[in-house]
Amino acid sequence: MKGALKTRSEERPQDVQNEKQNFSTVFLLVQLVVVLAAIGGYMLYAKRGHTDLQWWKTSVIYQIYPRSFKDSDGDGIGDLRGIISKLDYFQYLNIKAIWLSPFYTSPMKDFGYDISNHTDVDPIFGTLKDFDDLVKESHSRDIKVIIDFVPNHMSDQHPWFQESLKGTGKYRDYFLWSDGKSSFGMRKPPNNWLGVFSGECWRWNEQRKQYYYHAFVKEQPDLNYRNPDVVKDMNDVLRFWMERGVDGIRVDAIMKLFESENIFQDEPRSNRPDVPAFQYEYLTHIHTENLPEIGDVVRGWKKVMDEYEAKDGQSRFIVVELYDPPAIRNKYYDYGAMPFNFDLVEGLKADCGGNCFMEAISNEYDNLPAGEWPKFVLGNHDRKRVSKRFGVESVNVMNMLLLTLKGTPTTYYGEELGMEEIEVSFEETQDPWGINFGKERYTEFSRDPCRSPLQWDASSQSGFTSSSKPWLPVNPGYKTCNVQVQKKKKDSSLNIYKSLATLREAPAFQDPDVQFAVVNDNILSYVRGTANTGRYLVTMNLGHDSSTADYTNEPANAKSGRVVINTENFNEAKFNVGKSVSLSSLTLKPGQGLVLKL
């Protein structure tokens, strides 16, 4: 009969297909509504005068290692044009700032940290026009550009060092030179200092008949910042890049900028067990790290950047690299810079769960100078990937931690996918740090495994390059772990990361303090937000056992919460986005995390 209802068996295939499509559309709309509702209070929040946070406080910063991001010309090495071709990827992820590791002219003895021209682009990465286009295209997408600033050392091929070799003129004392000392008729370096990559850090130069100091590889002589001309010239380098529209700098190896004026002082033993005499950690670096003179130089950089902020009203950003506790790193706030907090990268034990994570995070918050802003990071080009340190199953929950804490998060490329490290034989090892330790110990120190090419799709070389031999091998698991595949899966690491990066723009995740809730050997949880901004419970199992807890007490003070984001580790329907969850007895498995709207 016309208009009669059809039974399931009477439905036509097209009807079934339409029903599936309708269901899929409704499901996606529910997800969208939940996320939009989470940030929907932003306009109201803005009207109340809470829009004074600088861009670097509200942005996720994404570190690009240019060699490994995207190759545009088929030579097997990533480049600036490759980055430009993928800028829409950052819009997809809701990334508002990118940080580029060095792309400057270099002999590549330390992959670009040995710079031979601070004001040009190495041909393997492109040209200055390519860089200008990158800045222009990034800014057109509301993406800020941060560059690596490498002030401590440069290549021995740099014109300044080549002039210094002559021992005359302006550049004579641009570097640390010494006649050394004599012992029983033998010429020796002036002290016992060690290089960061281990071994002697004084190198005899036959042309000048003196030793020069290098904190890193021998092809990277250290600049002498006690020479005011060095300070001025490096300030001018900074001005060069500010003129090209750069929004901020990440300062490399800031702790090494100065050495004691009396270079004939030895550094004392650290007395650390099982550390050989040639290894950097064998000594305590009282004469070569974090000397107070660094402060005035950093203040000078801040002054340069303030000049440009005064011109266009755009805030500029300085973040510095040093692996030190709050008592040391927090001094850099006084200098005008923000220090990285590497406590989540180093120092956490293998069995670390909720309690020790809270201890590390509280250590940052409790010691933060009044009015300052923290900066958390989980990895970078020098440290093992998250999947290696915490396990593949914990990638999503670690990204949840990073993106929901108070502070500016920095993500190393590929962590949004849960990329795993590659295996590199000693014969194929390129990293000088690994090579210095020889075949027996190179795996402890080589940084090659965490620098493999980004996995874009399932095509040859994962879409990174058209070359048959990229500079480092692509991870063999690229066919199932890549951007293209993960974009299509709602519960992929990539899309969970995207949801977290979007949610982080909600007022609740910007400036209110973190209020710790249930914390035990497995669980770390906290509440973000206020009654005005909306309140969220973030709960994560960072341990090794399932854990059941009651979250209804303060600071949650709620009987239930609605799921906004789920790490999706176990595909449990009760934790689907939009579901209401009781807080009186909530069980999470290891590696599982939830963001709940209270």
The pLDDT, as a whole number, for residue 339 is 97
Are the CB atoms for 193 and 201 separated by under 8 Å?
yes
Distance CA 318, CA 310 (A): 16
Q: Say which of 110, 252, 289, 420 is annotated catalytic.
A: 252
Half-sphere exposure at residue 266, Cβ-oriented, CA atoms within 13 angstroms: 9
Distance CA 588, CA 592 (A): 6
The pLDDT, as a whole number, for residue 185 is 78
The pLDDT, as a whole number, for residue 3 is 36
The pLDDT, as a whole number, for residue 46 is 38
SS3 of residue 173 by DSSP: coil
Residue 252 designated active-site: yes
Nearest 5°: CA angle at 66, between 62 and 70? 95
Q: Map 122-149 to HEC letters.
A: CCCCCCHHHHHHHHHHHHHCCCEEEEEE
Distance CA 480, CA 413 (A): 17
Q: Say which of 110, 247, 321, 448 is annotated catalytic.
A: 321
What are the backbone angles phi and psi of residue 338, rounded to the nearest 5°? -105, 130
Are the CB atoms for 378 and 398 separated by under 8 Å?
yes
Residue 321 designated active-site: yes
Residuewise pLDDT in 10s, the chain (598 residues): 333 333 333 344 454 445 445 544 444 444 544 444 444 444 444 333 345 789 999 999 999 999 999 999 999 999 999 999 999 999 999 999 999 999 999 999 999 999 999 999 999 999 999 999 999 999 999 999 999 999 999 999 999 999 999 998 999 999 999 999 987 778 999 999 999 999 999 999 999 999 999 999 999 999 999 999 999 999 999 999 999 999 999 999 999 999 999 999 999 999 999 999 999 999 999 999 999 999 999 999 999 999 999 999 999 999 999 999 999 999 999 999 999 999 999 878 778 899 999 999 999 999 999 999 999 999 999 899 999 999 999 999 999 999 999 999 999 999 999 999 999 999 999 888 898 889 999 998 899 999 999 999 999 999 999 999 999 999 999 999 999 999 999 999 999 999 999 999 999 998 788 999 999 999 999 999 999 999 999 999 999 999 999 999 999 999 999 999 999 877 888 999 999 999 999 999 999 999 999 9
- Per-residue exposure over 165-177, b if at least 16 CB sit within 10 Å of its own CB, e if not: beeeeebbebbbb
The pLDDT, as a whole number, for residue 106 is 98
- Please report, for residues 65, 418, 456, the alpha-carbon distance to residue 489 in angstroms, rounded to integers and kept in the order given: 26, 14, 15
DSSP label at 283? B
DSSP string, 455-500: ---SSGGGGS-SSSS-SSPPPTTTTTSSHHHHHT-TTSHHHHHHHH
The pLDDT, as a whole number, for residue 22 is 52
Amino acid at 27: F
Supply the pTM of this predicted model. 0.90
Nearest one of 460, 453, 361 to 407, comparing CA atoms:
361
Residue 393: other Cβ atoms inside 10 A: 16
Distance CA 482, CA 493 (A): 10
